Amino acid sequence: MHFDAPSFAEGNSDSTAQFNGLKQFKTAGRGFWGNVSDKDWNDWKWQLKHRITTVEQLEKLMPTLTPEERAGAVLANANKLAMAVTPYFFNLIDMADENCPIRRQVIPRIEETTTAKWEMSDPCGEDSHSPVPGLVHRYPDRVLFLVTDRCAAYCRYCTRSRLVSNASGYDFHPEFDRQIAYIAEHPEIRDVLLSGGDPLLFSDDKLEQLLARLRAIPHVEFLRIGTRIPVFLPQRITPEFCAMLKKFHPLFISIHSNHPRELTTEVREALGRLADAGVPLGNQSVMLKHVNDDVTVMKAHVQKLLMCRVRPYYIYQCDLIAGSSHLRTTVQKGLEIMEGLRGHTTGYAVPQFVIDAPGGGGKVPINPDYIKQLNGKRVIIRNFENKIFEYPEKEDGTPVVAPHASELEWLGKD
């Protein structure tokens, strides 16, 4: 008897090797900054001060800088979302790979100047739901509080590129008092989500003042911070910072990581410090072309997040932000990824796929269809292996008989 076991095994072990490689925790290393002292390198202010922000720096540091990237970097700084990358994060770029998933997220490209017909500057309609500048009140019981317009590094697909800037100085929003007053005057607001920009760019003192103002409002039950700093700048997550956060529980943090290579040993340690301070951690990913639009990559990523004590929370379909077509993938691809995760790995590792509805509808959950039939008499469902099952429901109190095998067979075929 003959069969093709060897070639199958080979193909299989290739993807297993890729998967295992993605799951390894590695340090970002020192790269071009080998001569910098440990003290400086581990100082988050040093990292911020030495960010890569100019095309001249890119030319020096990236031997493989492409014409598309060079032109993108020039235009980005002139009239679009600024470029900035921390030295730590820059070291994760694979210089040999033009499509490196790290590179695509932070190095501008000329395609950013192309705006598709359906792309917008405010794709989620946030400005129309802002009772006070910098506050978005879309859902009944919670607000999004945009506390600053700066980030440690700028994601090229930023949904708030209309707001973020790279000016210096780290102070509260000019409307800060009105923002706090609005929350205080609206007792239905029980959940405040701090975002921006990145709230963790504030000093410990400044952030403590902000959290204390919110905690002084009796109806604010729950605080959370959306931040990419644990990924762009893990040096920011100091023991002193974690001790400060502890005073404001219940306080959750949502990080933003898209690819398993972003989860380095440095990031794992920073996240461990937050978890040890009792901060429950979630992750938000954006599905991006050539970055993470792939089941193997996503599965390695979500499993690695659990090892960092982070629960995958949302995967976003890329917002229709102007100049992001080159990073966009299809909703169908997102569904394929969800199919490839649910049932195939730990339930805690499976995030919710959402579309933030263009124009301001909020987040809409998008799920593969596991219901084959639902008619009041019975529910016919399929599992992750595409096997068909029936859950009987009563109609007029009469139990339903088992489904006909022929019908199940038919349902399984579509």
Ligand X SMILES: *Cc1c(COP(=O)(O)O)cnc(C)c1O
The residues of the shown chain that bind ligand X, judged by CB under 6 A, are 136, 138-139, 142, 144, 193, 363
Q: Would you state the structure tokens that stand for residue 172, as one six-digit string?
A: 């509260």
Strand 352-357's sheet: what is its strand order?
135-139, 142-146, 191-195, 222-227, 251-256, 281-287, 310-317, 352-357, 362-365
Nearer to ligand X, 69 or 356 (CB): 356
351 within 8 A of 283, measured Cβ to Cβ? yes
- The alpha carbons of the chain give a radius of gyration, in whole angstroms, of 24
Helix or strand or coil: residue 32? helix
Nearer to ligand X, 85 or 151 (CB): 151
Helices first, then strands: H and E counts in the chain: 15, 12
Which amino acid type is present at position 120? M
- Residue 125 beta carbon to ligand X: minimum distance, rounded to whole angstroms: 9
Nearer to ligand X, 142 or 236 (CB): 142
Distance CA(15)–CA(23), nearest Å, equals 12
Distance CA(92)–CA(52), nearest Å, equals 13
245 within 8 A of 273, measured Cβ to Cβ? no
- Residue 194 beta carbon to ligand X: minimum distance, rounded to whole angstroms: 11
- Residue 366 beta carbon to ligand X: minimum distance, rounded to whole angstroms: 14
Catalytic residues: 138-139, 142, 151, 155, 158, 160, 319, 356, 363
- DSSP character string of 52-107: B-SHHHHHHH-TT--HHHHHHHHHHHHHSSPP-B-HHHHTT--TT-TT-HHHHHHS
Question: What is the number of residues in the chain?
Answer: 414
Q: Would you state the structure tokens that stand for residue 2, as one six-digit string?
A: 């003959």
- Residue 354 beta carbon to ligand X: minimum distance, rounded to whole angstroms: 8
Q: Report the residue closest to ligand X, judged by CB.
A: 144
- Residue 363 beta carbon to ligand X: minimum distance, rounded to whole angstroms: 5
Nearer to ligand X, 134 or 260 (CB): 134
HSE-CB for 269 with a 13 A CA cutoff: 13
- Residue 157 beta carbon to ligand X: minimum distance, rounded to whole angstroms: 16
Q: What is the dihedral of CA 209, 210, 211, 212, to 10 degrees?
A: 50
Nearer to ligand X, 46 or 139 (CB): 139
Which amino acid type is present at position 359? G
Nearer to ligand X, 319 or 390 (CB): 319
- Residue 126 beta carbon to ligand X: minimum distance, rounded to whole angstroms: 6
Nearer to ligand X, 286 or 388 (CB): 286
Nearer to ligand X, 190 or 363 (CB): 363
- DSSP character string of 159-214: TTTTT----S-----TTHHHHHHHHHH-TT--EEEEESS-GGGS-HHHHHHHHHHH
- Residue 138 beta carbon to ligand X: minimum distance, rounded to whole angstroms: 4
Helix or strand or coil: residue 285? strand
